[in-house]
């Protein structure tokens, strides 16, 4: 029974989450573009928003990049570069810990602002508050895994997660067995992380897809106004 639950949660559930994540985002963009926004409330308690938003976004981007590179880079790449599992484990703990603390402080400011300012609370939907609290719990779980990771600095536990994540993306059957015996807090962190992907298309998180990275390569332009009266064309 235990093996079956592990297979369903870590062998089948990831594909459900990824499917809903991709197709749901596409359908929402196609059918409900007006809702494709983050719902800004920046005119209210702006200073707290600035600090909270900056800390949250810097922290979460570093965490996401760390997870993406750490989990999806083939093990042989690290071996070729001479990066040991122990060094990689310490790197994840230190950088992940600093980014996690910054993100935690930022999210605490954002949650306090959204829940305890009556004006902002009134303009917030159930989804806005729910996804913020879910991310908060996920962040706390992630920070809690650091204390467990300190007990196995050889990095072999991390290799299990790399094997699982890469196996899911390469459609390897039975890969859920790779993490069958890991600490429960890691499993809770993985499960909630996948659930966030499942909920993604139905929340304000979709604005991530609209990050204006194309501005970096955009040609500059200048709007010039003239004082001369415009003569209408006949």
The CA R_g of the chain, rounded to the nearest whole Å, is: 22
pLDDT band, very low/low/confident/very high, at 218 (cuts 50, 70, 90): low
Q: Which of 67-76, 78-87, 120-129, 218-227 shows the lowest mean pLDDT across its residues?
A: 218-227
Half-sphere exposure in the Cβ direction for 160 (13 Å, CA): 18
pLDDT tens profile 21-39: 999 999 988 887 666 665 5
Contacts for 183 with CB less than 8 Å, ≥ 6 apart: 145, 148, 157
Q: Look up the CATH number of domain 1-30+45-209.
A: 1.20.950.20
Instruction: Provide the annotated binding site for heme b.
Output: 57, 67, 189, 207
> Is residue 109 a contact partner of residue 52, using CB atoms and an 8 Å limit?
yes
Instruction: Provide the annotated binding site.
Output: 57, 67, 189, 207
% of the chain with per-residue pLDDT over 70: 84
Residue 100: closest CA among 151, 49, 64: 64
Q: What residue segments make up the domains of the chain, in order of their start?
A: 1-30+45-209
């Amino acid at each position: 029974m235990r093996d079956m639950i592990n297979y369903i949660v870590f062998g089948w559930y990831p594909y459900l989450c990824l499917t809903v994540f991709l197709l749901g985002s596409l359908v929402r963009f196609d059918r409900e573009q007006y809702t494709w926004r983050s719902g800004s409330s920046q005119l209210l308690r702006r200073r707290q928003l600035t600090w909270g938003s900056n800390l949250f976004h810097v922290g979460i981007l570093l965490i996401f990049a760390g997870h993406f590179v750490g989990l999806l880079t083939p093990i042989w790449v690290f071996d070729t570069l001479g990066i040991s599992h122990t060094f990689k484990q310490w790197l994840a703990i230190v950088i992940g810990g600093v980014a996690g603390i910054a993100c935690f402080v930022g999210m605490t400011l954002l949650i306090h602002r959204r829940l305890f300012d009556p004006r902002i609370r009134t303009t917030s939907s159930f989804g806005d508050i729910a996804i913020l609290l879910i991310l908060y719990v996920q962040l706390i779980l992630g920070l809690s895994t650091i204390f467990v990771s300190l007990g196995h600095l050889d990095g072999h536990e991390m290799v299990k997660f790399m094997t699982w994540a890469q196996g899911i993306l390469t459609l390897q059957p039975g890969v859920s067995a790779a993490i069958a015996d890991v600490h429960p807090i890691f499993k809770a962190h993985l499960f909630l992380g996948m659930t966030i992907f499942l909920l993604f298309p139905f929340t304000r998180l979709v604005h991530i897809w609209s990050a204006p990275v194309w501005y970096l390569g955009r040609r500059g332009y200048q709007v010039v106004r003239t004082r001369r009266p415009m003569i209408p064309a006949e």
